[in-house]
């Protein structure tokens, strides 16, 4: 960069800094507004006032789009909260582990837009056979592919490894493109799968998954203690 160009750049910076400190500058020199050129993709605009008006319109458009996005998210969260509440009520009404398990699976399939559900139960809590049920008498030790997941006690979502997918979904594994996996304490784990690869994504919020996990875990504990 030449000294002359560097000098021009510094002078331009100084002018810009001065105008930021004195935003009313053009009120003292209104004739400058008529000769200033404003950068636009479509070319120069006619005046500073037109440029400012268009800038405000652009900002308002951005704010309106953000408001619509936030409103949509809030509505989705409200619907999810209502579904979780309905799941809680339905599970509380169940008077046996079998009814509780069937209720959870039916609600997850019908109300939460999932395509596959797998309930894995450890130990001796036996339920009638079902295509969504996996009994694992050996408990955690018999599922080493899930050891790290069970150790952290947190739901995860996204795409699982092929080993985990086939362990949960068997022959249906190729059809499942995304999964939400929830620990159920000492009782097992709960997996819900979707054919949509974007339905459950890594990094998505897990608040509702934790609520579902807590509901199912509490129900299993209550029913086991009462058995």
SS (H, E, C) 89-131: HHHHHCCCHHHHHHHHHHHHHHHCCCCEEEEEEECCCCCCCCC
> pTM for the whole thing?
0.67
**First and final C-alpha spacing in the chain:** 83
Q: Residue 3 pLDDT more than 50?
A: no
Q: Contact 155/210 with Cβ under 8 angstroms?
A: yes
The Cβ-side half-sphere exposure at 226, using a 13 Å CA radius, reads 10
Nearest-angstrom CA–CA distance, 214 and 153: 11
pLDDT at site 36: 65
The mean-pLDDT minimum among 21-35, 105-119, 127-141 falls in 21-35
Which has the closest alpha carbon to 118: 106, 127, 131? Answer: 131
| pLDDT tens profile 99-131 | 888 888 888 888 877 899 999 999 877 788 899
User: Distances in Å between the alpha carbon of 51 and those of 38, 43, 127?
Assistant: 7, 11, 70
User: Tell me, what DSSP letter sits at residue 161?
Assistant: P
137-148 average pLDDT score:
90
Which has the closest alpha carbon to 194: 109, 134, 133? Answer: 109
pLDDT at site 117: 94
Q: Contact 125/187 with Cβ under 8 angstroms?
A: yes
């Amino acid at each position: 960069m030449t000294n002359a160009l560097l000098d021009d750049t510094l002078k331009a910076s100084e002018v810009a800094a001065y105008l930021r400190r004195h935003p009313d500058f053009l009120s003292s020199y209104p004739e400058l507004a008529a000769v200033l050129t404003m950068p636009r993709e479509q070319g120069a605009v006619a005046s500073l006032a037109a440029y400012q008006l268009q800038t405000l319109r652009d900002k308002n458009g951005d704010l309106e789009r953000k408001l619509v996005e936030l409103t949509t998210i809030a509505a989705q969260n409200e619907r999810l909260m209502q579904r979780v509440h309905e799941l809680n009520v339905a599970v509380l009404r169940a008077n046996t582990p079998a009814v509780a398990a069937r209720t959870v699976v039916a609600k997850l399939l019908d109300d939460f837009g999932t395509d596959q559900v797998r309930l894995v139960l450890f130990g001796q809590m036996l339920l009638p056979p079902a295509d969504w049920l996996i009994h694992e008498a050996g408990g955690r030790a018999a599922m080493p592919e899930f050891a790290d997941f069970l150790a952290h006690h947190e739901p995860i979502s996204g795409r699982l490894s092929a080993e985990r997918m086939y362990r949960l979904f068997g022959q249906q594994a190729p059809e499942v493109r995304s999964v939400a996996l929830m620990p159920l304490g000492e009782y097992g784990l709960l997996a819900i799968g979707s054919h949509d690869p974007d339905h459950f994504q890594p990094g998505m919020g897990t608040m509702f998954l934790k609520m579902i996990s807590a509901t199912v875990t509490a129900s299993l504990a209550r029913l086991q203690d009462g058995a």
